[in-house]
Structure 1
């Protein structure tokens, strides 16, 4: 039987774990604190499409009690990886596929990239190689997360919208491990396309996140207000144009225009971005994976990012002064 562990089983990890359990695919969840206690006592509750379902995944607090897995699903924020490295080690064996369901530029980004920057470390997300040392890029499987969910109380996940987790190998191959995990997600009622150019799709999501998140954190405005205001709309657009120039230098092909991406963001409505939510809750901000890494890579490819550098400096200071 395929062993699957979800580490960082908050909103997205909890959603995936609950869906897999509902489909008869056993999952182990590693959690701690009140969330762990609630799941142990009452199960993992999923509220979705007007229904509430109680699932019973195996719940552990110590990864040493779990051991190496076939699939280790990481649903942490990128900045939480280094503090979690010691905990992750017992879950990873030579045959473990590390499903990187993490926003922003991932630590594995340049693995099998091809060209002049293949294997070059992105210091913003892999400082001194500490992440790639513990999470070998060769074992990573890209995963782009589209659902929106929240932990409304310990042990209870509320799923708002979306059901797609796009998968892709860093080298673009259609591997057995990617196909098998996709089949399990599809069995769980989720969409799981396997894409040969995972970085293209990664950038479409990052394109919005690198602009919408920091601008909303700096202004305190929901997404609809950020994009309805001509001034902040223009800032987001300029920042996204800079990001597109960096991505295209790295070989990315965009399937839509910057204005269509902005329009898509506006359609989300009065949404608080994850960075604004983290700011309000006193949590660390996901700055480096969403923007710091892009500004760093801009230097590699010789693209100037004056708007990006300005927003990055401001949001870093905002986080420091929280």
Structure 2
């Protein structure tokens, strides 16, 4: 199997780097400046288990051919449209496109462009960031890719992908309920992003504030209602695990959206929060807290764009 990884940022660089380290046939699709940097210096990952550098295969958009079995799409959700034009020449008749973007709206965009059959479900769980030298720093020990056919079937192509992804240090999991898995991640990610961004603090700081736990639980309940009525209901154990994580005393946990916001970077407000609101309004679900968070995030984003 041949895999194309779109982007060598915090997420794509981490998983692609791990696969390259394991000797898998991996190529990175990069912008010319990033491609030149990695060709010269390699791709360095500051993992929790130690630092390593690989020199992977690199291409730019003008060099692409439809010769890949799978494409791992790791760009930020607001960069999806621009990435589609770059990666389109790499998509052949049997190519799978595996997006690990936040939210769910990207599935519709990709299905419209390449056909629903080309887009299995997929998600990742990892905490990484890109430093000012272009190195990828792993912030926590967890690192998992989860993937599966959207109808839950076990097909030859998904089995081949699963075999390819095994043995690369991170946890690779073939799921027969990937849509529920994706909704569960969205629930956790959206709640974490909403509360940390609005309160401008860590989970531990929010928990320690008067009314903090009640606020977190109220936001979570609004998002759970949207999932149950418009998407896939999460498992009871997952809900309680998420609730516990979001209210842990002394926790330093934040969201990637919070880290981007504090760094003055663009954020995925529309994809993580706005799309939930759109689904809620379509179903007549009242979401006053989610609406307040989204307005707050749009003020920030509008200021950047303006």
How does the TM-score come out when normalised to structure 1? 0.85
1:245 is the counterpart of 2:221 = no
CA displacement, residues 135-160 of structure 1 (integer Å, 9 cap, x when unaligned): 43321122221121222244422223
- Tell me how large the CA RMSD over aligned residues is: 2.2
How do 1:24-103 residues align onto structure 2 when only pairs under 5 Å count? 24-32=23-31, 34-60=33-59, 62-68=60-66, 69-103=68-102
Moved more, 207-216 or 164-173: 207-216
How do 1:277-296 residues align onto structure 2 when only pairs under 5 Å count? 277-296=259-278
| Structure 2 unmatched ranges of 5 or more | none
Aligned equivalents of 1:251, 1:7: Cα separation in 2: 28
Aligned equivalents of 2:273, 2:104: Cα separation in 1: 9
Moved more, 68-77 or 42-51: 42-51
Determine the structure 1 residue equivalent to 2:300: 318
CA contact (8 A) 1:36 1:155 kept: no
Determine the structure 2 residue equivalent to 1:212: 192
1:164 is the counterpart of 2:144 = yes
Q: Call closer, same or farther: CA 1:159–1:193 in 2, change over 3 Å.
A: same
Determine the structure 2 residue equivalent to 1:111: none
1:201 is the counterpart of 2:181 = yes
Q: Call closer, same or farther: CA 1:107–1:263 in 2, change over 3 Å.
A: same
**Shift in Å at residue 10 of structure 1?**
0.6
1:187 is the counterpart of 2:167 = yes
**Shift in Å at residue 259 of structure 1?**
4.7
**Shift in Å at residue 240 of structure 1?**
1.5
Determine the structure 2 residue equivalent to 1:140: 119
Q: Call closer, same or farther: CA 1:67–1:255 in 2, change over 3 Å.
A: farther
CA contact (8 A) 2:192 2:254 kept: no
Determine the structure 2 residue equivalent to 1:151: 130
How does the TM-score come out when normalised to structure 2? 0.89
Aligned equivalents of 2:78, 2:293: Cα separation in 1: 19
SS of corresponding position for 1:98: strand
Pairing partner for 2:291 from 295, 305, 309: 309
| Structure 1 unmatched ranges of 5 or more | 109-120
Aligned equivalents of 1:197, 1:301: Cα separation in 2: 24
Q: Call closer, same or farther: CA 1:230–1:184 in 2, change over 3 Å.
A: farther
Count of matched residue positions in the alignment of Structure 1 and Structure 2: 300
Q: Call closer, same or farther: CA 1:253–1:269 in 2, change over 3 Å.
A: closer
